[in-house]
Amino acid sequence: MHSPHLSALEAKHATLDRRITAESQRPLPDPTVLRDLKRAKLRVKEEMTTQ
pLDDT in tens, 33-48: 999 999 999 999 999 9
**How much is the pLDDT for 24?**
98
Residue 39 and residue 13 in contact, taking contact as beta carbons nearer than 8 Å: no
| Sign of the C-alpha dihedral computed for residues 1, 42, 8 and 3 taken in this order | positive
pTM of the model: 0.88
pLDDT digits (tens, 9 = 90+) for 1-14: 679 999 999 999 99
